[in-house]
Structure 1
């Protein structure tokens, strides 16, 4: 192939790349403008927060913990764990690298104190999808992340039926009792009893 043909191909590739970049920028600008102008956004409600298996398990966990804990469903891991060190500046890539690892992952349930909201434990319901290689890698990472933060992460195998007593036995070491002391909210001056 002659040098002039190579130059023409390279010029054509450059034009295509610039064109694609321009289309991306135009698309982003148009989307931002449509959002600002109050046009409807392309979202619809999910039919249910939990799958039927997750809902059945949640019912059993609710029976198991009673009033000793609040239960939160589908909690983003970045709302349970935080990166130990602080961002030094907006472009601190070390902080962002660790934050991104937890920002888009969730755990099925989080148990909290009913007064004050202190996190007691997290729970994962492992169904068949957790046997896949990518899920195994994800689960190993999540296990390590929770262990490094000192937050118990308990895994339960998905099944057709759940025994609330068995669940309670596994959760009992992490549950609080209603008689435990008052908790002061860190962002207010109020104390609950």
Structure 2
């Protein structure tokens, strides 16, 4: 009877170990501490996105929370292994985002970027970040428009501010005008 109990226990251990190994193989053997965000945008950002969407209609594509390094690129590449200039400038933009990017619907050419400035943009660290972002976009010749966060958004005013940048290549201009950010 004792031998039978040992055999059953050993078989059970082998089955559990085998199932655990299979699960590790299927899941890649890694466990990361990630959980999903509840939503992409805050309620204020979503209200603004909806207003921008109403202002531009279906003429453009609007992307949310875009990494600046996906909008701008560093002009030069490394010349040799010890040349860290490219990495220095890339790191400055790689972890920063803009709230919205407006693109052509076909081809995705970037027409303008948009920042929604809430109360946090009054802090000194955010103001330094905002100055850097403004200068980076201006140096690249990509329009960056700033809007003040609020409870309601005037679709007509948004449309008027965006209108100069919504010319698609099919309608004329192939380039974005070089502008600095403008606060409304």
- TM bucket by the smaller chain? 0.7 to 0.9
Aligned length: 147
Q: Report the Cα offset of residue 43 of structure 1.
A: 0.5
Query: For the structure 1 residues 178 and 99, does the alpha-carbon distance in structure 2 shift closer, same or farther, using more than 3 Å as the test?
Result: closer
In structure 2, the partner of 1:53 is 44
TM-superposed deviation, 1:178: 9.3
Q: Which residue of 2 aligns with 1:138?
A: 129
2: distance between equivalents of 1:150 and 1:95?
Answer: 19
> What's the TM-score, normalizing by structure 2?
0.75
Residue 117 of structure 2 is matched in structure 1 by: 126
2:99 matched to 1:108?
A: yes
Q: Tell me the C-alpha RMSD between the 2 structures.
A: 1.9
Unpaired runs of 5+ residues, structure 1, are 1-35, 184-193
The alignment partner of 1:159 has SS state of coil
Task: Check if 1:62 corresponds to 2:53.
Answer: yes
Contact 2:116–2:146 (8 Å) recurs in 1 = yes
Taking structure 1 as the reference length, what is the TM-score of the superposition?
Answer: 0.72
- How many Å separate the matches in 2 of 1:154 and 1:103? 20
The DSSP-based 3-state class of the residue aligned with 2:89 is helix
Shift of 1:180: 3.0
**Distance of aligned partners of 1:91 and 1:45 in 2 relative to their CA distance in 1, 3 Å threshold:** farther
SS at match of 2:135: helix
Counterparts of 1:162-177 in structure 2, within 5 Å, are: 162-176=153-167
SS of 1:75 mapped into structure 2: strand
Q: CA deviation at 1:163?
A: 1.2
Quote the Cα distance in structure 1 between the aligned partners of 2:106 and 2:168: 11
Structure 2, unaligned runs of 5 or more = 1-26, 175-184
Distance 1:95 1:178 in 2: 31
Deviation per CA, 1:99-140: give whole Å up to 9, x if none.
Answer: 000000000000000111000000000000000000000000
SS at match of 2:62: strand
Runs (4+) of structure 1 moved beyond 6 Å?
A: none
CA–CA distance in structure 1, aligned partners of residues 96 and 88 of structure 2: 14
User: How far 1:179 sits from its partner (Å)?
Assistant: 5.5
Q: Contact between 1:68 and 1:178, CA under 8 Å: does it hold in 2?
A: no
